[in-house]
Copies of this chain bind each other. A is one copy, B any other.
Amino acid sequence: MAKLKKGKPIILVTNDDDITSKGIRSLVEAVKDLGKVVVVAPEKPQSGMGHAITIGSPLRMNQVDFFGKDVEAWQTSGTPVDCVKLAVDKILHHKPDICLSGINHGANHSINVLYSGTMSAAMEAAIEGIPSIGFSLLDYSFDADFSASKQIVHKIVSAVLSKKTDKHFLLNVNIPIATPDKIKGIKICKQAYAKYEEDFSERIDPHGKKYYWLTGEFKNFDKSKETDVWALQHGYVSVVPVQFDLTNYTLKKQLEKTKLFQ
């Protein structure tokens, strides 16, 4: 990967919290000695956007100087997935060596990989054939402390850049809230089967009409020690290798055998 090209690797950085968030700033700081960083990120928060793309309206993009003069940066009106598409097609005009997304303010472990704009941006890059990593810290606060995260990011990105990886290489990295000395290590995991038990908060507006806020309690139904949830609860950084082939091959075999639809 990086070794195959002359000069520094091109590192595309994006996120879903928006281009001004502390998380993306921390990500840029963590990797700027590892290559040429180009930031293409949303101008407004896009959390929970999943793999959304903008079809019905046009996109805007503007160059900004939020990361100092060494870092080319663009903010766009699009979703995280749009940002990756714009970066490759209209800004870089070729594929970067790696795409990094985050650092997200909040967890993207287990089933959250599906709702996460952070991970969808990374997945979009992997579909395009760009090795990619999404990073999330388990702290939703605006002013979260990313100092341990920056060390973890640097370690993981350095390691990935040092190897030749598959072009669809994709990792979902979640980092527990802890000081560097309290983090037990980096654990390769599987995605836990965990989900939110929804409980909409029902309210009445000043005109007497009902409205609902989506809320809910996170529940882990997966007791395996192999999962990302287990790793995070036990002080490890979780690394889940991710794929975008969603075929359920076990069910495929069953359906072929039973001939249910013939």
A interface, CB within 8 angstroms of B: 45, 47-56, 58-61, 81-82, 85-86, 88-90, 111, 113-115, 120, 123, 127-128, 155-156, 159-160, 163, 166, 169-170, 185-186, 188-191, 193, 195, 198-200, 202-203, 209-214, 239-249, 251-252, 255-256, 258, 260-262
Q: Once the chains are docked, how many angstroms separate the CA of A256 from the CA of B52?
A: 32
User: Separation in Å of the A199 CB from the closest CB of chain B?
Assistant: 7
Contacts of A249 in B (CB 8 A): 190, 241
> How many copies, total?
2
The listed residue (B81, B159, B247) touching A242 by CB distance below 8 A is B247
CA distance A113 to B88 in the complex (A): 22
* Interface of chain A: mostly helix, strand, loop or mixed: mixed
Please name all residues of chain B whose beta carbon is closer than 8 Å to the beta carbon of A200 when the two chains form the complex: 59, 85-86, 89-90
A sample of 30 inter-chain contacts (CB < 8 A) reads A48-B52, A48-B53, A48-B56, A50-B50, A50-B81, A51-B51, A51-B114, A53-B115, A58-B211, A59-B200, A59-B211, A59-B213, A61-B212, A81-B115, A86-B212, A89-B199, A111-B127, A114-B127, A114-B246, A127-B195, A155-B261, A160-B260, A163-B260, A188-B252, A188-B261, A240-B246, A240-B247, A241-B255, A243-B251, A246-B246
In the docked arrangement, what's the CA distance between A111 and B255, Å?
21
| B-side contacts of A262, CB under 8 Å | 185-186
